[in-house]
Structures are given as structure tokens and as C-alpha cells.
Structure 1
């Protein structure tokens, strides 16, 4: 069988397609595409069509950004709600990928939904690390970025963390008064990850660490390659399916928004990346009660406030078995991103979470 690249493959690899849109890193994506479609010429053709369509599609102009309420270093606290006497509700995204997954588009925005429901909602934007931030580990992201912004609020907030942001929220609540804490798809007990996934991440970090150490940061492409490796078949098939989506439809807009988010974002600081890969994934410091903030062990069970952990039985990135155990626990059947921006997100997550926030003063 001839496995040499097709003209379409060669053209894209040489940069003839619009380079301003991902996937990132493109050479790795193309290698995965070529491998996953070997023996299926139709799937390969549709995947390339979907890829080119994604790269060349026009995007709407960005919406105006919310007002900045506070900042600490490169991080900003954006305000979506208004003063109404309720406790402020601070949404904390992961350090990986941009924060706009929580404010993705006009009809897929958890933050704007919460503001419309009457919550005084805020969103943390971690920003891009500065040149001298390479020593900013996960603990210092809490103590030097998150906590100073929370201190600017008029009263103790309700904290809501998504993905790694949930882990950081638990750390913040252990050091700062919080009215309540909710986490969504938060990795905590890393022994709950499939061994094969932890081995994959360990190998990825082993190969990338020397370069990351020299750079002083962990490029987003390193993290993205790990996500792709967990489910390469799905990575390619979603682009093949995109080739058949109706132009101008809500499905097209949703795909573009999600993929632009997934392929974007600044790097992690080197120290934060090292913590994530070595102390969390490899050593399970959080799950074993060995992660400390300001010298104090962070324990979700010891938080002096209402707590709520939401996970998903079909989450491929953070399995439900890795979620922290909290006073209230709920397990959905939505994907890691689908639970935030999917067609069922409003009904199954946004609205129940809004009700819980209201019941605790938010």
C-alpha cells in the first residue's frame, strides 16, 4: 500500500492552508490523521476536507470583554454580574487553554447565563505568564494570583472551579474564607486515572521536560498532544464529521468555537507544569493529602463551607473516579467539554448549579 502523503497532506504540511487557526501542533495532528485513516481513503479525504474547512472558515468578531474588577500579576478578575447584595460567585477555569470555555459564544456561555439568572458572577483570566514567572508553581498561582483577587471582593465568595481550576479552588478555600465551593470535572485523586493514561502522561513529560526547563515554560502544544493521544480516533473523526456540517449552522459555529478554544492558550509556567506532571499525575500529592498551601495540607473534606463536586461518567480527560469527595456529589453523562458548552449543558449543569448557588447566598 502506498503510504506517501497525498497532495492535500503536503500542501497543508507546507503551510499553504490558513495557518492562523490550529490544530496545534499541526505536524503532530497530521501524523495522527495519516495513521488513523490508513486503509480508509474515504475517512482520510473527509478528515482533510474538514481540516481545511476549519482553517479557512471566517470567525465572527470578538465580543467586548467584561470589565476588569481586580488583577494580580498577569491574572485578571472579570465581572459579569452586578451589585445585588448576593455573595459574589467566582468561576475559576483551568490553567490549560483560555478561560473563554466558560463564555464561549452568545448561546453557549455559562457566565452570561449565571449573570442573567441574577448571580454576581466573576471569571478569572489567568493571562499569559511573564518572562520571570517560570517559578510560579500551582501553590503560588493560588497565593500570588487567586487569593489577592478574592481579597478585593466585598464579602466571602462562592468559588466554582472547572478542571484544574477546581483543584486550585479547593486550595484557595483552604486558605481564604469561602461561603461555598463547587468543582466541575476537577482532578484530585490521580490514582483514579486509568494506569495507561498516567503512563502516557509520564512519557509525554519525560520527553518534553528538558526543553520545557530550558524554555522556562510548558508550551500549550505539549499539553494538547497528550489530550490527542488519549483518544486519537475521536480527534480525527470529529474533523471528518465537520466536513458534512451545514455551512452557517449552529453546529458549524459550535465546532469552530470549541476547537479555537481547544487549540488556543498561553503556556504554563515551568513550575506549574512540573507540579502538574510530577506531583499530581505521578505522585498523587493532592489525593494523598500531601499538597500544601502556605504550609497547610489541602483537604476537601476539611473545608468549613458547603461543597459540591460534579463529575461525568463519560469524561475522557478527568474520569469521575478522580474527582474529590465532597458533601454533595453528582455524576453526569456528558463529556469533559460537553458538560460546559454542549447542547444539554444548560439543562443538566447550568440550571442545577444556579439553583445550588442561590441556596447558598449566591
Structure 2
């Protein structure tokens, strides 16, 4: 599924051989590590030991990508099997980080779990933009890739959007007659982000915009540095844990995912920082896609909104269900990524999502979840 080529027989491609350069960008990570541990030399020692162990960990070759069933520009739709007569479910990932978080590893794959449950999961892979894609904003991704992929199927699929992919899935559900829409950690009202976070993002974009403008792209490394800034203490703690964990294979897979991914087209990056975070165009009813203003209240299908009270990346106050009564909330208490791949993800997210997708009109769930 990844956009990166698999290594040839008997060799390692640079992508797989470059673990010594991770986390990316390594110089900024080391600077963050120094600043966060200036008064705690013991933490610095542990984190550096964890960093070394992470960089030197064995990494199995990736599984073969799921087959492609449709294309739209550089984007493809991958088929994860399941019951071909069962409900088709099109997963829309974020433009940030690879879509592989939904199929991270054996036993940690939401897509394979749902395939085994009788659904037919389809995953949108946005591909890798080039400078020639600089003019593609977020709406253009919906118009030229997501909507054509929906139209290529023999019947309308349910949509499941994760993070920014959920924001885009809302637009698609407003423009196409889909049977159901599920949102996972999806921001809609960007005014719900803390004021300081929006201020920091505006400052970051001011710093990044000139270089991004020259490249026609925003490199993934710039966004990774942003995520580190959101919670630097937690970032350092992850590498401290690498030093003492008995088995780090799953943690390595997750950390590699967080450090990989394509860049973002220039216009999409500008749209993200200015149109969404700064101006809150979706939440204020001023976001248009394919010439239409996107109004979630006009979406006729059932909407499930999975929201976490512990999500530091997409706070609960940004969720669609805080503004729209017809979006049924399903609340849990897991991190932004942990809710999809963590040890409690199956009980708290996978199983409720499976039940709702199989019966969206009659099993609008709201059951207590363990904290």
C-alpha cells in the first residue's frame, strides 16, 4: 500500500536502510531532546539509549500492497477483500502521514479486522504529490480524487474518515449519496483548537511558507516537527520507553509510520494553515467544494462521530457532533493514534465501528467505554 518501492531481492532500498536517520528530522529531534532534559540528565541518557535501540531495531519487509481497484490522478483505491457482497466501506485517511496506520501490522489492522467481519474495506491512498501539484488545495483533493473514486464503484460506499480525511469525507458525503458516514478523530470546528495552538500554527506557517512556496510542497519533516512541539514531553517519553521495553516491534512500526509519508501540495498546506486552522472555514460555513458550500446539516445519511477526550492532536471541542445534533457521538479516552492501533482499540473503536457499519440506521451506538 505504501508509495515507496519494495527492496529488490538481496538488497535494501534506501528507505529501509535509513533507520539510522530517524526520527526525521533528526537534528530537530536532538535539539528538542536536549531542551526537554536540560535539568534531567538521567532522562537524557535513557532517551538516547532508546533512540539507539529504535534506530537499530530489525524491520521486517512490508507486506505486499492490497490490489488497486480504481485510480483518479495520482490517488488509488485499494481493496482489502472481505465479503464482496457485503457493505463497501471507503476509508479516507489524512493527507498527513501515510494511510498505513489503518493497516499497521498483523493484529493491528482495522481494515483486515473489518474484512474478517463481513465488510468490504477500501482504502484511499493519496499517492505522492510533486511540484506540478502545487495548486491542489484540500477541496481539489476531494473534487479530483475522492469523488471520482466514489463514482468508480458499482454502488455508493459508506465513508469512514480519519483526522483531516474525515473533514474531507464530510464534504464528499454532502456531494454524493452515500449510505453512512463515520468520522474518527475528525476536526470540523477549528475554532475548538486552543488559542495558543492556533497562534503557534500561524507562526509556524509564517516560517515555513517561503520555503514551501519555492518547493511547491510542504515536506513531511516540517509537520513532524510541529507534532513534536504539541507535546514535547510525551515525545521524549516515547524514546525513554524504548530503552526498557522488552519487545519494541509494535512501537517501532508505529514510530516509523509517524516519521514517514509524502509531502503536501503547497495549496493544500496553505489551505490547512490559513483556511482551516486560522479562518475556520468549515466550522463557520464558508468552506466550498466543487462549487458548493459544505453544510453537514444537509447530509441525509446517518453520521457516527468517534471522539476522544484524550486526543491532543484533534481536541474533542473540534468535533462535528459538538455542533450538529444529528451526528451521533461515540466517546472514548484514547490518544489520536492509539484509538486506531492501540491495545484497547479493538474494544473501544473497532468493534463499535463494525456494529454501526453493519447496521447504521438501527444501531446508533452510545455505550459506556472503559477509561
Identify whether the pair has TM-score above 0.5, normalized to the shorter chain. yes
- Partner residue of 1:304? 300
For residues 13-28 of structure 1, the aligned pairs below 5 Å read 19-28=19-28
Which one of 269, 275, 281 corresponds to residue 277 of structure 2?
281
SS at match of 1:132: helix
Indicate the residue corresponding to 1:106 in structure 2: 106
Contact 1:83–1:120 at 8 Å: present in 2 too? Answer: yes
**1:31 paired residue number:** 31
Distance in 2 (CA, whole Å) between partners of 1:100 and 1:255 is: 14
For structure 2, the 5+ residue unaligned runs are: 1-16, 362-371
| Contact 1:309–1:330, Cα closer than 8 Å, also in 2 | yes
SS in 2 for 1:118: coil
Shift of 1:339: 0.2
Q: Note the C-alpha offset of 1:334.
A: 0.3
Q: Shift in Å at residue 19 of structure 1?
A: 4.9
Give, in angstroms, the shift of residue 87 of structure 1: 2.8
Residue 257 of structure 2 corresponds to which residue in structure 1? 261
Displacement of 1:40: 1.2
Distance 1:226 1:28 in 2: 11
* Aligned equivalents of 1:77, 1:192: Cα separation in 2: 32
* Aligned-partner SS, 1:211: helix
Q: Deviations over 1:174-202 (max 9, x none)?
A: 11121110000001101101111111111
Structure 1 partner of 2:220: 220
Superposed displacement of residue 301, structure 1: 1.7
Moved more, 332-341 or 352-361: 352-361
- Equivalent positions of 1:321-332 (< 5 A) are 321-325=317-321, 326-332=326-332
Q: Report the alpha carbon displacement of residue 152 of structure 1 after superposing the two structures with TM.
A: 1.1
CA distance in 2, matches of 1:318, 1:259: 19
SS in 1 for 2:320: coil
Question: Deviations along 1:95-152, whole A, 9 cap, x unmatched?
Answer: 0000000000001000000001010110111110133111011111001011111111
**1:310–1:331: 8 Å Cα contact kept in structure 2?**
yes
Task: For 2:111 and 2:80, locate their aligned partners in 1 and report how far apart those are by CA, in whole Å.
Answer: 7
What's 1:70 paired with?
70
| Alignment pair present for 1:317 and 2:304 | no
Match of 2:9 in 1: none
TM-score computed with the length of structure 2 as normaliser:
0.90
Aligned ranges 1:1-362 → 2 under 5 Å? 19-82=19-82, 84-246=84-246, 249=247, 252-325=248-321, 326-360=326-360
Q: How many residues align?
A: 342
Contact kept? 1:74, 1:130, Cα under 8 Å? no
Distance 2:359 2:37 in 1: 50
**RMSD, aligned CA:** 1.5
Q: Deviations over 1:300-343 (max 9, x none)?
A: 22101111111100000000100112431111100000000000
Between 1:45-54 and 1:296-305, the stretch displaced more is: 296-305
8 Å contact 1:88–1:153 — kept in the other structure? no
1:3 aligned partner? none
Q: Give the TM-score normalised by structure 1.
A: 0.92
- Check whether the contact 1:181–1:306 (CA below 8 A) recurs between aligned residues: yes
Instruction: Report the Cα offset of residue 81 of structure 1.
Output: 2.2
User: Residue 289 of structure 1: SS of its match in structure 2?
Assistant: coil
2:6 paired residue number: none
Q: Distance in 1 between matches of 2:19 and 2:59?
A: 14
SS of equivalent to 1:69: strand
* Stretches (4+) displaced over 6 A: none
Q: Is the 8 A contact 2:78 2:124 kept in 1?
A: yes
- Residues 223-250 of structure 1: per-residue CA shift (max 9 Å, x gap): 111111011011011101110011xx2x
